[in-house]
């Protein structure tokens, strides 16, 4: 297994209120103790209004991320938040390119690339999401779609040490239909090979590629034991105590 630190993100999406968030923070704080967080990067992404609250309440090594940001620092962009604001809140991570941003809100590869570059320039690390839809997989376009989404940031001055790639097949998100370990490993292997060809061997070997899409406490160990799966981006199960088991999928803590 390559020497890439396991990474587990919890994407809460548009879920939670103070009461339920208190419950989530309680199981993260008790489950993700020092010995565990020493071995795994744990990053949770609450809805924007709760970011500060969550950051104040988390007292283990878990970090807090924003779920999105725009491509400029400030200005007349109602409803948006900037990477500079995320930095000002003391955070270091943002999720960009999530399939819900791409397919519900119509974000293009170009916009996501612009946002990624700006976030990196502002000092924010990026969980860069890609993934094919069911009809694209069925049409034999899995490789093509994922490569196209990823190469939107090639050729730019990307600091790859600050990017985590999240492969999230759209058909597996929130459906209970997880990619099999073989299906996920196949795409992760392609992505690593693509990085090797188009960026560098060093970037291919060191960049973490995590899997998202109906990850559960039950399926995380087998998925996490695949050679090119370096962690998870978890939706539904990150709102439940199962998240702690997922954090521990590959560590011995």
Binding site for ligand 13P (CB under 6 A): 11, 98, 168, 173-174, 212-215, 233-237
Q: Cβ of residue 131: shortest distance to ligand 13P, in angstroms?
A: 9
User: Which residues are within 8 A (CB) of 44 and not within 5 positions of it... i.e. 6 or more apart?
Assistant: 9, 10, 12, 24, 28, 54, 58, 62, 63, 64, 65, 238
The alpha carbon dihedral of 240, 245, 249, 251 has a sign of: positive
Respond yes or no: is residue 168 known to be catalytic. yes
Q: Cβ of residue 1: shortest distance to ligand 13P, in angstroms?
A: 23
Q: Which is nearer to ligand 13P, 124 or 215 (CB)?
A: 215
Q: Which is nearer to ligand 13P, 98 or 248 (CB)?
A: 98
Q: Cβ of residue 129: shortest distance to ligand 13P, in angstroms?
A: 7
Choosing from 107, 132, 168, 188, the catalytic residue is: 168
Residues 92, 218: Cα–Cα separation, whole Å: 30
Residues 35, 239: Cα–Cα separation, whole Å: 22
Q: Which is nearer to ligand 13P, 70 or 243 (CB)?
A: 243
**Cα 239–Cα 170–Cα 28 angle in degrees, nearest 5:** 15
Choosing from 98, 100, 136, 188, the catalytic residue is: 98
**Which neighbouring-strand residues pair with 250?**
none
Cα–chain-centroid distance for residue 107?
A: 17
Q: Cβ of residue 124: shortest distance to ligand 13P, in angstroms?
A: 17
Residues 72, 16: Cα–Cα separation, whole Å: 28
Q: Which is nearer to ligand 13P, 43 or 204 (CB)?
A: 43
Q: Which is nearer to ligand 13P, 82 or 238 (CB)?
A: 238
Count the Cβ atoms, other than its own, within 10 Å of residue 184.
Answer: 25
Question: In which element (H, E) is residue 53 found?
Answer: helix 51-57
Q: Cβ of residue 103: shortest distance to ligand 13P, in angstroms?
A: 11
Name the residue number minimizing CB distance to ligand 13P.
235
* Active site residues per annotation: 98, 168
């Amino acid at each position: 297994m390559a020497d890439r630190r396991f990474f587990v993100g919890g994407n809460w999406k548009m879920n939670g209120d103070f009461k339920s968030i208190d419950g989530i923070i309680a199981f993260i704080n008790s489950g993700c103790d020092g010995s565990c967080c020493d071995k795994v990067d744990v990053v949770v992404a609450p809805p924007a209004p709760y970011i500060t609250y969550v950051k104040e309440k988390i007292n283990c090594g878990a970090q807090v991320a924003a779920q999105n940001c725009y491509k400029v620092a400030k200005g007349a962009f109602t409803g948006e938040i900037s990477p500079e604001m995320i930095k000002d809140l003391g955070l270091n991570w943002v999720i960009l390119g999530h399939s819900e941003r791409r397919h519900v809100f119509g974000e293009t590869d170009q916009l996501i690339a612009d946002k990624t570059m700006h976030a990196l320039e502002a000092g924010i690390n990026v969980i860069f999401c890609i993934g094919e839809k069911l009809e694209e997989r069925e049409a034999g376009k899995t490789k093509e779609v994922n490569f196209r989404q990823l190469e939107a940031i090639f050729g730019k001055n990307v600091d790859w040490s600050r990017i985590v790639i999240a492969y999230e097949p759209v058909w597996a998100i929130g459906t209970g239909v997880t990619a099999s370990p073989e299906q996920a490993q196949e795409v992760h292997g392609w992505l690593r090979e693509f990085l090797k060809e188009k960026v560098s061997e060093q970037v291919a070997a060191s960049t973490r590629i995590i899997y998202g899409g109906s990850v559960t406490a039950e399926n995380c160990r087998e998925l996490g034991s695949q050679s090119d799966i370096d962690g998870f981006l978890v939706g539904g199960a990150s709102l439940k105590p199962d998240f702690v088991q997922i954090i521990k999928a590959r560590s011995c803590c």
